[in-house]
Amino acid sequence: MQDGRIGTHQPSLPGGTDNSRTAAGLSPVTCPRARISGMTNFPPKWDDGTIADSAEHQVHWYDERTAIIRQALRTTFEGPFIYLLLGSERALLLDTGTGDADLRKVVDELLDGRDLELVVAHTHGHGDHVGGDDQFRTEQEKNGKRTYLVGKSAEEVASYFGITSWPDQVVEFDLGDRVLDVVPIPGHHASHLAFYDRSTQLLLTGDSLYPGRLYVFDWPAYRDSIARLAAFVAAGNPVELVLGTHIEMTAQPGLDFEFGSDRHPGEHRLQLAPEALTELAAALEEAGETPRRIVRDDFIVFPLSPTGEPL
C-alpha cells in the first residue's frame, strides 16, 4: 500500500511460487491505480465497497493469460467486472467500465512488455460497459501495435466479428493460440454477446447472466438467446464456470442488494456454476411468452419495458 488508497500486489503463478511476468522475462506489475492479486482462481474477497480508500480497480489473474478487473464500487455503484484475455498475437479487453476511473492506465500496465495488439470490445453497449471507450480512442498505436475499438451497435459488432446471420450464428475469434466462440445473445441489449473461451472453458455472459438482477428489455429475444446459449453449451462446449459483469446478490439465496447500493458487505461470489445457465433457460421456458419476475437463489430475472419501467 503506497498512499493509503493505492495497492501494488504482484501476481504470482498458481501455487504462489513464481511471478508470472518475471517467469516470462517481464518486469513485475506495479500498477498505481489498481490492487492486484495473484493466480489462485479467485481472490478471497472482491472490493465490495466497504473500504473507502480502495484502489480504483481490483485486478486478479485467474490464470497467466486471464485477468479479471473490477471497477471499485466507490467510483460507481455498478461495480462492473471487466475481462482481459491474452493470446499469442492479441489481447481482448471486454468492456471499459463507466469511465469514472483510469482503466487505460491499468490495461497498459498489465500489457507492458507484451508484444500484443489490443482489441477493445464489449459484452454490450450500456453506459457502464462502454463509458471508458474514449480512453482507448486517443492512443491508437503503442509500440507499433494498434488498439482496435469495436463499435457498440449490433451492426458494428456483427461487422467486426464477421457475423453474417445475427443473432443465430456463432463465430470464432482467435487471439493467437486461444480461440473464443462469440455468441450473439440480444435481449438485455440489442448488441449483447457472450464469449466462450475454449482454453479455460469459461463462459463470459455479460449482463445476461450474473449473480444479480437480470434486466430484460426484450423478452422474446432474451428467451431465445438464453435457449441458444444453453444449446451451444449442450452441443459439446463444456463450461467450467459462468462469469458475468456485476454482483448484485447477497450471499443469502434469492436476496439482492438495494438498487444503487455502493456497499456490498457479504456479497455473492462472482462465479456461477454451469447449472445456473440450465436453470435460467428452464425458468424462461416455463415462464412462456408473458414477461414475469423470476427469483432464484443466484439471480433474479427482472423484465423491463423498452423505456426501463418494471413490467
Q: Which residue segments constitute the domains of the chain, with CATH numbers given?
A: 20-303 (3.60.15.10)
Q: Which residues contact 224 (CB under 8 A, 6 or more apart)?
A: 167, 187
Mean pLDDT over 162-190 rounds to 99
Residue 144: burial class (beta carbons within 10 Å; 0-12, 13-18, 19+): exposed
Q: Could you report the per-residue pLDDT of 285-294, keeping only the tens digit for each?
A: 999 999 999 9
pLDDT for residue 201: 97
Q: Nearest-CA neighbor of 154 among 162, 166, 165? A: 166
Q: Encode burial over 258-281: b for 16+ CB neighbours within 10 A, e otherwise.
A: eeeebebeebbebbbebebbebbb
| Segment 259-311, tens digit of pLDDT | 999 999 999 999 999 999 999 999 999 999 999 999 999 999 999 998 889 88
d(CA 243, CA 215): 16
pTM of the model: 0.88
Quote the strand ranges of 160-264, DSSP E. Answer: 171-174, 179-184, 193-197, 202-206, 213-216, 241-244
Q: What is the pLDDT of residue 37?
A: 55
Interstrand relation of 90-94 and 117-121 (parallel, antiparallel or unpaired): parallel
Checking if the pLDDT of 13 tops 80, the result is no
Q: Is the pLDDT of residue 5 over 80?
A: no
Cell of 202: 469459461
Kindly give the interhelix angle for 275-287 and 219-234, rounded to the nearest 10 degrees. 140
**How far is it, in rounded angstroms, from Cα 186 to Cα 90?**
26
Nearest to 54 by CA among 269, 272, 264: 264
pLDDT digits (tens, 9 = 90+) for 65-88: 999 999 999 999 999 999 999 999
Angstrom distance (rounded) from CA 75 to CA 71 = 7
Q: How far does the chain reach from its first CA to its final CA, in angstroms?
A: 46
What whole-number distance in Å separates Cα of residue 61 and Cα of residue 66? 6
